[in-house]
Copies of this chain bind each other. A is one copy, B any other.
Amino acid sequence: MTDPMSTPSLATDEDVATWFRAAVRAMQAYVPGEQPQHGKFLKLNTNENPYPPPPAVLQAISEAANGKLERYPDPLGTAFRIQAAAELGVDPDWILTGNGSDDILTIVTRGLVGENDRLRLPYPSYILYRTLAQLQGASCEEVHFRSDFSLDERFAVNDERLKLVFLPNPNSPSGTMIDPEKIAALADQLTCPLLIDEAYVDFASSNCIELVKQNPRVMVSRTLSKSYALAGLRFGFLVAQPAMIRMFRKVKDSYNCDALSLAAATAAIANTKWLSENRTKIIATRNWMTERLRSFGFTVTDSQANFVWCTSTQHSAQRLYEGLKAQKVLVRYMNYPGWGDGLRISVGTDDGARAALSILESLL
């Protein structure tokens, strides 16, 4: 037996590695965008909303906090599902609540993709998808977008090991969108489920909720982090047919959403007027940011999201990222091996965006 008075017997990374699953040992950790906890940064790197959330949300949080925090929350988030269902035109049993849409993506992947299975995604897109496949011991098939960010026909090919396809729409980093009609055709061709990640869809001109009704393999994930200015709250949800939702309930943690985020999300999703006004502001800023960045000589895709994607053959994107950071402006430098690099700049307030773009101009 060990001596209880001994100094800590510290294990090394090599010591502990043998106890972990091979898949976990082999993988790299997903690295989220920088979230500086100290220092004053103009933060345009993780597509947060530059405006505070609707005041009704703060009221709902205050009431829930003064309610019964000592009690477990409703495991199925019924009040939220009723409200969201009314907004989306589906029944409440078409909705699964999640601790952020990352939790939804985790639940869907754990439900459908096992060891040696395959998960497909477009490239470049959200890097987390790859991490989720790796965690399951599955392989990841990255199908390159065409140069105009349309989908290559290989994206619709079936194979026995393919168990799930992720399609972010609008996509990040490009901000581009695939037309819902094209996605309906893709879903009809695929024999496995297709998850359309609509994290940014409230800033776009269309969405795929109707496809869920037409094809049980289609699922849509949403988040309140971007368009409802609630990244700090962690709340997302899945829209899928009831038979799918019933299966995913087996996979999720019973109490994956807390009482405060459920109350806040219920208040937020009811606030369509706030959403519409916020969306209008973001889109107006996005449009002049796009024009101004083009006037600097950048190639900027037409964005349907709350960020813009800039590439340049003249300037080093990495150098510009570093120059901006030195002046307390954080943007996201993305480098996709086999594809290229660029800057993904979140849409800020008009003042914030003007300040950031002036500094960027000075670095050219």
Contact = CB atoms under 8 A, between A and B. Distances in A.
Q: How large is the interface on A (under 10, 10 to 19, 20 to 34, 35 or more residues)?
A: 35 or more
A289 interface: no
A31 to B, nearest CB: 8
A210 B4 contact: yes
Contacts of A25: 247
Nearest to A180: B4
17 contacts: A4-B184, A8-B213, A9-B216, A10-B241, A13-B243, A16-B247, A24-B110, A24-B251, A35-B74, A46-B72, A52-B68, A58-B65, A67-B232, A99-B234, A102-B253, A234-B258, A258-B261
Contacts of A254: 30, 32, 102, 128
Nearest to A113: B21
Contact of A106 (B16, B23, B100, B253): B253
A116 B200 CA distance: 39
A247 B259 CA distance: 30
Interface string A60-87: 0110111111111111001100000000
B225 A72 contact: yes
Contacts of A111: 20-21, 24
Interface string A215-248: 1110000000100011111100000011110110
